[in-house]
Amino acid sequence: MAAPKNNRSVFLGRLPLPERNYLADALRTETVGGVLLLAAAVAAVIWANTPVKDGYESIRTFHLGPGALGLNLSVQHWAADGLLAVFFFVAGIELKRELVAGELRDPKAAVLPVVAAVCGMAVPALVYTIVATTGGGSLQGWAVPTATDIAFALAVLAVIGTSLPSALRAFLLTLAVVDDLFAILIIAIFFTSKLNFVALGFAVLGLAVFRLLLSKGVRGWYVYVPLAVVNWALMYNSGVHATIAGVAMGLMLRCHRHDDERVSPGEHIEHLVRPLSAGLAVPLFALFSAGVSLSGGALSDVFRRPETLGVVLGLVLGKAVGVFGGTWLAARFTRAELNPDLKWPDVLAVASLAGIGFTVSLLIGELAFADDPLLVGEVKAAVLVGSLIAAVLASTLLKLRDNKYRKLCADEDRDDDQDGIPDIYEQDDPAYHLRMAAILEAKAAEHRRLAEVASGRTTGDDGPA
């Protein structure tokens, strides 16, 4: 990636090396998790449309848990309210880290991704509202097409075999993090049932205890895991969606490093919990939530009913227009220059990729139409169809520039002096140029020696063999 050449900010410019290394580690886990998520979603759809579909329905509606504590839930609800709390816990840590050490720590640098994410949520909601209003449908699902699923998006990249420069991946991740923040607010504000203030008060008290223990430096999973489970149960019984407890605890972790630390506590815990979230929690949620019946013209009905058509158009059209338009406007008014190695069609491709809204979209769909199980299934089908169309569109746009991306990635990773630091980060270091000069001189000397040997053999001299 080209480095800035003047004092004007560069959009999608080279990331600092520590941020690039963190990003590579985080996205590696998310990519594996995304492939598992994709496999789980496909398995769920197949399972729900085979002769054994009754078994699928029996399993996900099977209830278990202590009824006396208000936790006698179906397997599907345990996946949505319990396992997704782990996902949102990781999302809370990601958001905290972005705010204190990542792309969002500098207000000037944060303007572009934040504006892009806000527009990327507002425009799909507007598209849904227009379609639903025009067709006489329900407006309850306005929030369904607003979310981006980073794991599913990375799974698409892994499946089609394309490479994205680190700056584009960082932009996509930041979009998803801000998306998650607003999705959390939407769930908390618009999908909260009647409040149980006693349970809510104890939940707040439990979170305060969690924060106090962190501030005192108390360590040990045997302290925090039971407390986290109690906080989750109290939040669930309060009427506020239980995943909010996961977000709150994630935001409380310290994500800035002290001088004597290689990683912060938040980064360390995220490193431990992210595989559990990406590899188990989210795929299991997909397995028990994505199973929708596609028989009886269900797919064609997706494009006929205003609610489902609004979801599809919101994901495919609204996300692309919102993210791209918001980014272009923010860059225009902040006078930010696009990295010369990239073009605006690259931003459009990433904007289209943001239209893959799976995990949180499915969750919001269940919450929005909880009183209409038939419509819940149709909205889920619409999320699957919209995400699939967005994935195909984004894949096509990305493949057109794949050769360019591969060259940029190769330049980012090149390490000719083999010191563990990509050469592109050392170009302004005099010591680097001395090392490279020594390497080039050694190679030149080797070439001269080989040329002399070859010349001796050719002329019949008794040179070295």
pLDDT tens figures, 346-391: 899 999 999 998 888 999 999 999 888 888 889 999 999 999 999 9
| Of the candidate ranges 29-43, 179-193, 246-260, 419-433, the one whose mean pLDDT is the lowest | 419-433
pTM: 0.80
Confidence of residue 161 (pLDDT cuts 50, 70, 90): low
pLDDT of residue 428: 56
Q: What is the pLDDT of residues 229-269, one digit of tens each?
A: 999 999 999 988 888 999 999 999 998 888 788 888 998 89
| Of the candidate ranges 79-83, 163-167, 330-334, the one whose mean pLDDT is the lowest | 163-167
Residue 440 to residue 446: CA distance in whole angstroms:
10
Confidence of residue 2 (pLDDT cuts 50, 70, 90): very low
Confidence of residue 298 (pLDDT cuts 50, 70, 90): low
Helix (H, G, I), strand (E, B) or coil at 282: helix
Q: What is the pLDDT of residues 320-333, one digit of tens each?
A: 999 999 999 988 88
Sorted by sequence, the CB contacts under 8 Å of residue 255 that are 6+ apart come out as: 93, 96, 97, 100, 101, 264, 265, 266, 267
Q: Which residue shows structure tokens 């496909």?
A: 42
Check if the beta carbon of residue 39 is closer than 8 Å to that of residue 284: no
Structure-model confidence comparison of residues 413 and 397, the more confident one: 397
pLDDT of residue 209: 96
**pLDDT at residue 447 above 80?**
no
Identity of residue 388 = L
Query: Looking at residues 315-344, what average pLDDT do you find?
Result: 89
Identity of residue 10 = V
Q: What is the pLDDT of residues 13-68, one digit of tens each?
A: 676 766 676 666 766 777 788 888 889 999 999 998 888 888 988 998 999 988 88
Query: Looking at residues 272-279, what average pLDDT do you find?
Result: 90
Check if the beta carbon of residue 145 is closer than 8 Å to that of residue 311: yes
Average pLDDT over the chain reads 84
Check if the beta carbon of residue 234 is closer than 8 Å to that of residue 250: no
Query: Looking at residues 87-109, what average pLDDT do you find?
Result: 83
pLDDT of residue 463: 47
Residue 369, classified by CB atoms within 10 Å of its CB into exposed (0-12), middle (13-18) or buried (19+), is buried
Query: Looking at residues 198-220, what average pLDDT do you find?
Result: 93
Confidence of residue 5 (pLDDT cuts 50, 70, 90): very low
**DSSP string of 22-44?**
HHHHHHHHHHHHHHHHHHHHHHH
**pLDDT at residue 297 above 70?**
no
pLDDT of residue 464: 46
**pLDDT at residue 144 above 90?**
yes
Check if the beta carbon of residue 19 is closer than 8 Å to that of residue 346: no
Query: Looking at residues 67-74, what average pLDDT do you find?
Result: 87
**pLDDT at residue 129 above 80?**
yes
Residue 388 to residue 291: CA distance in whole angstroms:
15
**pLDDT at residue 295 above 80?**
no
Confidence of residue 140 (pLDDT cuts 50, 70, 90): very high
pLDDT of residue 449: 76
Check if the beta carbon of residue 290 is closer than 8 Å to that of residue 40: yes
